[in-house]
Structure 1
Amino acid sequence: MLDLDALPLSRKQLTSIGRATARINIWHGSVRSGKTIASLLAFVIAVATAGPSGLIIICGRSLQTIERNCLEPLQDRALFGPLAKHIIHTRGATTATILGRTVHLIGAADARAEGRLRGLTAQLAYVDEATLLPEGFWVQLLARLSVPGARLFATTNPDSPRHWLKTGYLDRAAELNLRAWHFKLADNPSLSPQYVADLAAEYVGLWRRRMIDGAWVVAEGAVYDMWDEAAHVVAELPPMRRYWAGIDYGTTNATSVILLGLGTDDRLYACAEWRHDSRATHRQMTDAQYSAAIRQWLKTWRHPSEQTAGATPEWVFVDPSAASFSTQLWQDGLPGLARANNNVRDGIRSVAAALAAGRLLVHESCEGLLGELPGYSWDPKATARGEDAPIKADDHSADALRYAVHSTAHEWRHLLARGQQRTAGLLGETSS
């Protein structure tokens, strides 16, 4: 049914499949390095030879990620040939059938998910993106693998070197019944050079070292260590094809709006900034006052090369925690309102990639943003806990920029590789 020799697998993939006989088997390393395919094949082979007692489980951040990262690849005939027809799943269902065996699908988005494991006995478990799961869930899952010969198969991209999976398991492999394989991008023989170049362009700084080099490295220092005022700040703006806006809302803290434009030169521009800091002005504003001031600003702002005033963003991405303010804007008729994508780590990565590729520039009038970006730093206390988080201070315009840039990433991400080729050498090593 499954001929491994007929599949385009690397030597490292084949070796890991054959040796995945420990109680805990972990594939870790860079994105698109072939670790997921190898781990899924090892898991399916284990399912084929599993005994009748004990449940078989696939765990992930959510049911949707399990479907996307595990079941859909297994059902791809181009990848797995005849095996694919033996992977049966109805989207949204909490079970699947693999080689005739029922497999239970369990999402683990937070610590409460641990309760879904209590009382069960398992013989096989597959974990997708293990570093994204709560430690308590992982510990409980291992406790439930109590059938003789039970095994766990897991994949993950690297995280902080202080992450619990690194310190509690990978670093203690010699003490535990654990085998691990580290994969780099070069370990996947099926990737084209152009795809590798495009993928590398999307990751810079911390994320490049983790996702491309496959290193477990710590977040330290400046978040946007590629920031160069001489290269990133402009005095003039080209004509704009499109506008978006990001709003970070505060009551005692500053409220900031960044108008983001896509220029005719295929670059993103923080064109303008509206900002009110109640601490600095000693005057707080109501939601209605904020709404009126922002709408008036958008109505009266004028691009330097245009005769008429006004900018109409296609979308206005608002801090998702500002529910009452969003309601006020909606009642006042501001068009294109949307909840910002507030995934902080991914949002920072989008901004960093655009800056490093020379695809994101800031107009000199954005004084608040220009004051925040150079000092926007990783929180050493969070780093000590094995987490990546910026210091929550002086970040209001930076957050507004992140909302607009990350929420529109699907519109401009294809420009990154082209930008890095044009700006190689301009921004130093982080843009290569």
Structure 2
Amino acid sequence: MELDALLRQVSRKQLLSIVDSAKRTISLWSGAVSAGKTVAQVIAFLIAVRMAPRKGLIIVVGKTLATIYANIFVLLQDRDIFGAAICNQVAYTPGATSAVILGREVLLIGANNAESVAKIQGKTVVLALVDEATLLPEAFWNMLVTRLRVDGARILATMNPASMNHWMRKEWILKADEKDVIHFHLTMADNPKLPEGYEARMKRSFSGVFYDRMILGQWTNAAGAVYPMWDPTRHVIEFDKMPRIARVLADGIDFAVSHTSAALRVGITAEKKPRLVLMDEWRYDPRDHYGATLAPSDQAVLYRAWTREKHSPHESQFAPEYTIVDPAAAHFSAELRKFDEMSLQTAHNDVLKGVGTISRLLSNNQLLVTDRCKGWAAEITEYRWDPKATAKGEDEVVKDEDDSLDAGRYGLYTTRSNWQYELDAA
């Protein structure tokens, strides 16, 4: 049987979790990044598909259909892991809402908001694979549990740890025996497929709450400073001492009328080991102009004038590859589109992922900030996790005096596909 050969590829801890998952109705895998959680879950799922009663639906749940494809079906179609015998029994078209796995129809459900509850309401579920369970609405999870109306029905779910107050930890992991749950904690040491040096590289890439969660696999509250690794002696350089810039990647722009608008220019150095640089900063703060606010059209003119200045001590002026704008700034973007030379792009505004990216860059000494970026330097030391959100099991930053930080995050995170390989390969 092809599953027998597959089981011989996993670690002892992964194997034990696969076997023991059959003992409870709900199986939860959490822990470090790249710990092999999803591999163990998917193998357990394949075994469960073979054994599942014919009554009831088999479903795969994730935040979106795109994440289900990236996290589950790309893995299921990896012949190096699952072999041709299994991969040939997985039929799925990206974006579709159904698939066939080992001869059984499987429905795919994206659950990215509270309204997603309606997608499973009234249905009977015999088997559910849940990806990134901590990102799903609690109401959806609770409804899913009530849909297990067949003898032997099961849920198999993976997740990265979140706040200690997250509903998954408080209501399900800590009440495992009461709710027929089994929980498995894995670390990178439990994944035999990681390349040499990967674990050490990942440990260097995280700090603070992100290290606790991604490396140690702990459920930890986000508290205090968002960027505790920030050190002006390491990260700030004089503008005139900026390394030579190979490419100007982007201007990230956070727009406002009643408070500060900011733009941060992002470059990548021409060094043997490239680094990112926040080269220069533009701001319009009404408080610096006796409270005078400016319309989007007027701010666009000021910003465009700033782009024509020299933003590096070495190179002649050249435009950024992208102008990345706050997704809420539709009117400002419309004004910028009047300037044909700008290649506009809407910012990716996932705050936590953006914060995580910047944290890694700072921790690895891969981000420099020139002394012209005074707004960024003033804001970063005051940037804090919101204790009220933490008490509710959520991760949110305090939204106050963060205009330059948002602009920098837009520029750095949205362009990550343009610089990630160069930094990782160095």
TM-score over 0.5 for the alignment? yes
Match of 1:399 among 391, 403, 406: 406
- The percentage of counterpart residues that share the same residue type is 40
Partner of 1:384: 391
Q: Tell me which moved more, 384-393 or 62-71.
A: 62-71
Match of 2:229 among 223, 226, 231: 226
Unaligned 5+ residue runs, structure 1?
Answer: 420-432
Match of 1:24 among 14, 23, 26: 26
Give the RMSD, CA atoms, in angstroms. Answer: 1.5
Corresponding position: 1:342 with 2:349: yes
Partner of 1:422: none
8 Å contact kept, 2:255–2:326: yes
Amino acid at match of 2:243: P
Q: d(CA) in 1 for partners of 2:367 and 2:41?
A: 38
Partner of 1:284: 293
Residue 416 of structure 1, CA deviation: 5.1
Amino acid at match of 2:251: A
Residue 305 of structure 1, CA deviation: 3.1
Distance change in 2, residues 1:311/1:376 (3 Å): farther
Partner of 2:255: 249
Q: d(CA) in 2 for partners of 1:191 and 1:414?
A: 18
Partner of 1:11: 12
Q: d(CA) in 1 for partners of 2:196 and 2:221?
A: 29
8 Å contact kept, 1:357–1:417: no
Q: d(CA) in 2 for partners of 1:107 and 1:302?
A: 44
Match of 1:367 among 374, 383, 386: 374
Q: Tell me which moved more, 262-271 or 249-258.
A: 262-271
Amino acid at match of 1:211: M
- Give the secondary-structure state (helix, strand or coil) at the position aligned to 1:260: strand
Deviations 1:235-283 (A, max 9, x none): 1212211112100001101000111111222111111111011133211
Partner of 2:86: 83
Q: d(CA) in 2 for partners of 1:283 and 1:301?
A: 27
Amino acid at match of 2:325: V
What TM-score, normalized by structure 1, do the two folds share? 0.93
Deviations 1:141-166 (A, max 9, x none): 00011111211100011111111101
Q: d(CA) in 2 for partners of 1:396 and 1:363?
A: 17
Partner of 1:50: 52
8 Å contact kept, 2:280–2:311: no
Distance change in 2, residues 1:180/1:214 (3 Å): same
Amino acid at match of 2:35: S
8 Å contact kept, 1:354–1:416: no
Residue 415 of structure 1, CA deviation: 5.3
8 Å contact kept, 2:76–2:90: yes
Match of 1:240 among 245, 257, 261: 245
Q: d(CA) in 1 for partners of 2:318 and 2:376?
A: 19
- Give the secondary-structure state (helix, strand or coil) at the position aligned to 1:20: helix
Partner of 1:210: 213
- Give the secondary-structure state (helix, strand or coil) at the position aligned to 1:324: helix
Partner of 1:295: 304
Match of 1:132 among 135, 145, 151: 135
Q: d(CA) in 1 for partners of 2:424 and 2:211?
A: 14
Partner of 1:72: 74
Partner of 2:173: 170
Q: d(CA) in 2 for partners of 1:358 and 1:214?
A: 24
Corresponding position: 1:259 with 2:265: yes
Distance change in 2, residues 1:116/1:334 (3 Å): same
In the alignment of these two chains, the number of paired residues is: 417
Unaligned 5+ residue runs, structure 2?
Answer: none
What TM-score, normalized by structure 2, do the two folds share? 0.94
Q: d(CA) in 2 for partners of 1:271 and 1:286?
A: 26
8 Å contact kept, 2:275–2:423: no
- Give the secondary-structure state (helix, strand or coil) at the position aligned to 2:201: helix
